Chain A
Amino acid sequence: MKLGAFRNKRDHYLDFWDVVTYVSLALFAILLVYPVVRLVMASFMTQAGTFAAGEEFSMIQTYVEFFTIRYYYQTMINSFVASLLATLFAVIIGVPVAYLIYRIDIPGKLLVRVAIVLTFVSPPFIGAYAWVLLLGRAGVLTGFFANLGITLPSIYGWRGIVLVFTLQAFPFVFLLVSSGLRSVDQSLEDAAINMGRSSFGVFRTVILPLIVPSISTGALLVFVTTFSDFGTPMIIGEGFRVLATLVYTEFVNEFGGNPRVASTLAILMLSVTVGALLIQRYFAAKSSFGQEAVTPLGIRWVSTPKRIISSIIVYGIVFAAMLPTLTIIVSSFLESRGPMLIARFSLDGYRTAARLPLAFRNSVIFVFVSTVLCVVAGTLMGYIVARRKNRLTAVIDTLSMTPYAVAGLVLGVALSISFGGAPFYLSGTALILIMSFFVRRLPYSVRSVSGLLYQMGPHTEEASVNLGVPPGRTFLRVTLPQITPAVLSGSLLTMATIAREFNSTVILYSGRTRTLPVEVFVQVLQGNFGSASVVGTVLILLTLVPIVVLFKVFGKDEQALL
């Protein structure tokens, strides 16, 4: 007997899973569909909040202005230039580093893993500021190289943005390519070598095509994250203005205006990220081989000079990516006087951080509540998507994909427009923040549970139902125990990502509900890098806790971060 057959006997009851299905749909309708619809509406509305088109006003006025005034459309061009270049460089760096680490016996791989994790947990926003301290016109490294007679190029403008974006985001490519390489079989390489290919030829003609889907997924993640990052360009842009920064400044700064311009810009941003997702999926589907490795690729023996060169490349790149995080941690232990950092060791930053406890408490509470909600909802939804296939659950499956493409900034603006003012007045409340964390992270939970259930197959559950245990109890007694380890390890990752969520929070928070990432932002904006780095370091620690548990208790490695 199939799982679905059971309910036919009692069609007139509202089965537990039906309730889950309807509640899930309602949640998506409230937290995702409604806000996006409101966002679209807001971009068409007049100052007075009506659609009425008159002589002076047309509904698409802001859109027309965007595409006809260079001041505006230039930001779109700039965003594309910066993000596409960053994506390109992230692939150029990420693929070789992943390949070298996977294939060549490089000493101290643990260190590289630690470094990749550190880049992952480094608070957003503050990284760019750390680069200013290092490579700014008066930066530490700039001064060091100037003494050697070397003039470094400026960190300001598009070059700096591309550099910071690339180093922040290449771990995506690295992680995806590493996992892609695991499914390539050694026999393919052996065959190619036996037929006379050189080692580079093997890589180019055999291995590379097999990992193209992984590369394209990594590239998509780099593109989408950098396209919607407004902090980095805000700090080091200096006249190189991008779309994301414009969304932020138009939304938070208009006093007495309406959020129309911000909504229009957010809609444009949404179109780009959704477009990127669709293109990537089409591309990945075309180039996917559905392979499975019996004997994964092994370590390759290479001559000592080659090993040394590989190690230098890998360590050089990883060290560069880690630099800002190290700068933040070191700065947090320096004495500061107002905005000035003094080169003297001190713990005063931690002792006198009056604003830290509230932000810390908020972060911990929000992370905990949102993670629990995500895990519960994600597990139930993942289950219905995988096991209760019907038209409604197919809709849930699709909806659960969409938040991937909705950037935090866009979601923040949409939620704020929908629930911030009358009649809900949720602006700045814990509730609206938890809503945003929940919807941002839910897709990952749904995906991981449904993926796992597909892999496991329904046989044990069917056996249980056939022996007379109702589906609800079967879920609790049979399914849940099987997926619990994966759900728990997934929840740790959820904790880590929510802890550092920034782009939507910065739109929605108020002083009472400020979180650690927001506190970093406030301090950086006020020029207090000392305080910012203290809060930043605490945030790094808070993010590291679940990841360390994930690695130590669940025996995962950095692949789990995806």
Chain B
Amino acid sequence: MRRITLLLLIGALIATGTLFAAGTREAATDPSGRERRLVIYASHPTDMVDFYVERFKQRYGDIEVELITGGTGELLSRVQAERGRPQGDIMWGGGSHTGGSAPDLFLPYDSPALEGISPAFHDPKGFNAPFDAFTMVIVYNKNLVPENEVPRRWADLTDPKWRGRIVHANPAASSSSYAAMVTWLEIGGWDLVEALARNQIIAESSSAPFTQVGQGENPIGIAYEEGAFRWVPSGNVGIVYPEDGVALLPGGLFLMRNSPNPNNAKLFADFLLEQEQQEALARNFPGRRPTHRNVDLDPAMTQVDQLNVIEYPVDAASANRAEYLARWREIMIRTR
């Protein structure tokens, strides 16, 4: 009888022990300073992330790459929750200000590869490795929006005829949609933000606007450039760079503070800023803007000099994030 009890207890101990052991990680380094592993938190669409992870593995076959994907907000919450014992090495996604606004979570990194990157995209605080840049655009379905009604400016989207027909992601959940909100704030203050919000359907994912417009479920969406371009081959969607102003936003790539594999994290950041990878970006991912000074833009995209680029208030946007989102929530409460 007691033997059975003992056996069961031992069994239970072994089982829990194994489970815990599976959860711990080793951080062995080889002589070249490289660790064995690299843990990437990425909020970009999986096809692009997988593409670059694959290329990275081809070059550094000995590094075991682990990918953790999710929404930007979700991943940042996770980084925040894990700050006592960071699990990841690099955060790939979110706005360029993310690192500078959370210096307790991320490390500044002066990559040697920044040499090749246009100065316009450099992070003044030195945290970001600006791998790409994007603008927020209006995407519309050509079958649902007649040519003469196509909105040209953000302000056109306040017209009551679009009530409940414009898809926009929740700024609290999506960093790109937050950037769009700050852009409107710069152009027309909270009045414009509220007038726009009144007409919007709020989705919980930044892919929803271009997906729904592409499918023809809704006529108009507010989307990041690359997402909108995904539907161009269907022939159904049109893309508008609003004339009242667009912000040019570098994408975020940050090294996590106290991460288990810091050297590999640097390696990955350097890798993505290389001219070769930047060219691959322009070639394989229409709608993405490379940041390297020697790499040309996809010809289908509008060149920067033809856009009405406004100065994006990077510092204010990150410093006032909580306050702005609270304002947004108040607007939601008022308009819903």
Interface-facing stretch out of B70-78, B149-157, B181-189, B298-306? B70-78
With A239-B201, A511-B67, A527-B210 already in contact, the answer to whether A355 and B78 are too (CB < 8 A) is no
Which of B23, B45, B234 lies in contact with A429, CB distance below 8 A? B23
Query: Once the chains are docked, how many angstroms separate the CA of A449 from the CA of B71?
Result: 42
Query: Chain A residues near B78 (CB, 8 Å)?
Result: 427-428, 510
- Please state if A337 and B233 are interface contacts (CB–CB under 8 Å): yes
Decide if A496 is an interface residue (CB 8 Å cutoff).
no
Closest-by-CB residue of B relative to A23 is B12
With A19-B5, A337-B233 already in contact, the answer to whether A526 and B216 are too (CB < 8 A) is no
- Please state if B4 and A252 are interface contacts (CB–CB under 8 Å): no
Query: Chain A residues near B50 (CB, 8 Å)?
Result: 354-355
Which of B9, B204, B217 lies in contact with A136, CB distance below 8 A? B217
Interface set, chain A 492-549, CB cutoff 8 A to B: 510-512, 514, 522-523, 525-528
Which of A13, A137, A425, A428 lies in contact with B216, CB distance below 8 A? A137
Decide if A249 is an interface residue (CB 8 Å cutoff).
yes
- Please state if B87 and A16 are interface contacts (CB–CB under 8 Å): no
Which of A245, A473, A476, A527 lies in contact with B211, CB distance below 8 A? A527
Decide if A241 is an interface residue (CB 8 Å cutoff).
yes
Interface set, chain B 1-32, CB cutoff 8 A to A: 1-2, 4-5, 8-9, 19-20, 22-23
Complex interface bits, B192-210 against A, C-beta within 8 A gives 1, otherwise 0 = 0000000001101101101
Query: Chain A residues near B9 (CB, 8 Å)?
Result: 19
Query: Chain A residues near B308 (CB, 8 Å)?
Result: none
- Please state if B333 and A71 are interface contacts (CB–CB under 8 Å): yes
- Please state if B218 and A338 are interface contacts (CB–CB under 8 Å): no
Interface set, chain B 211-243, CB cutoff 8 A to A: 211, 214-218, 227, 230-231, 233-234
With A238-B164, A525-B205, A527-B210 already in contact, the answer to whether A339 and B230 are too (CB < 8 A) is yes
Complex interface bits, A419-454 against B, C-beta within 8 A gives 1, otherwise 0 = 011100111111100100000000000000000000
Closest-by-CB residue of B relative to A255 is B76
The range of chain A's interface size is 35 or more
B73 CB, min distance to chain A CBs, angstroms: 4
Which of B87, B217, B230 lies in contact with A338, CB distance below 8 A? B230
- Please state if B170 and A249 are interface contacts (CB–CB under 8 Å): yes
Query: Chain A residues near B333 (CB, 8 Å)?
Result: 69-71
Which of B47, B69, B164, B215 lies in contact with A511, CB distance below 8 A? B69
With A253-B170, A339-B231, A511-B67 already in contact, the answer to whether A420 and B81 are too (CB < 8 A) is yes
With A138-B216, A249-B173 already in contact, the answer to whether A510 and B68 are too (CB < 8 A) is yes
Decide if A472 is an interface residue (CB 8 Å cutoff).
yes
Query: Chain A residues near B211 (CB, 8 Å)?
Result: 339, 527
Query: Chain A residues near B215 (CB, 8 Å)?
Result: 132, 136, 138
Closest-by-CB residue of A relative to B330 is A71
Decide if B82 is an interface residue (CB 8 Å cutoff).
yes
Which of B8, B69, B172 lies in contact with A522, CB distance below 8 A? B69
Complex interface bits, A273-298 against B, C-beta within 8 A gives 1, otherwise 0 = 00000000000000000000000000
A465 CB, min distance to chain B CBs, angstroms: 12
Query: Once the chains are docked, how many angstroms separate the CA of A71 from the CA of B218?
Result: 24
- Please state if B5 and A252 are interface contacts (CB–CB under 8 Å): no
Query: Chain B residues near A354 (CB, 8 Å)?
Result: 50
Decide if B62 is an interface residue (CB 8 Å cutoff).
no
Decide if A470 is an interface residue (CB 8 Å cutoff).
yes
Closest-by-CB residue of A relative to B207 is A527
Query: Chain B residues near A19 (CB, 8 Å)?
Result: 5, 8-9
With A71-B332, A526-B45, A527-B210 already in contact, the answer to whether A255 and B80 are too (CB < 8 A) is yes
Query: Once the chains are docked, how many angstroms separate the CA of A71 from the CA of B172?
Result: 16
Closest-by-CB residue of A relative to B50 is A354
Complex interface bits, A235-259 against B, C-beta within 8 A gives 1, otherwise 0 = 0001101000100010011111100
Decide if A84 is an interface residue (CB 8 Å cutoff).
no
Query: Chain A residues near B164 (CB, 8 Å)?
Result: 238-239
Query: Chain A residues near B45 (CB, 8 Å)?
Result: 526, 528
- Please state if A254 and B77 are interface contacts (CB–CB under 8 Å): yes
Decide if A234 is an interface residue (CB 8 Å cutoff).
yes
Beyond contacts A339-B210, A476-B4: 17 other A-B pairs, Cβ-Cβ < 8 A, are A137-B217, A239-B201, A252-B173, A253-B71, A253-B74, A253-B77, A253-B170, A253-B172, A256-B76, A340-B233, A340-B234, A421-B82, A422-B84, A425-B84, A430-B23, A511-B66, A527-B207
Q: List 27 A-B contacts (CB under 8 A).
A: A16-B5, A69-B333, A238-B201, A252-B71, A252-B77, A253-B74, A253-B77, A253-B170, A253-B173, A254-B172, A255-B80, A256-B322, A338-B231, A339-B207, A339-B214, A340-B230, A427-B78, A431-B19, A472-B5, A512-B66, A522-B70, A525-B208, A526-B46, A526-B207, A527-B205, A527-B207, A527-B214
* Interface residues of A, Cβ cutoff 8 Å to B: 13-16, 19, 69-71, 74, 132, 136-138, 234, 238-239, 241, 245, 249, 252-257, 337-340, 354-355, 420-422, 425-431, 434, 470-473, 476, 510-512, 514, 522-523, 525-528
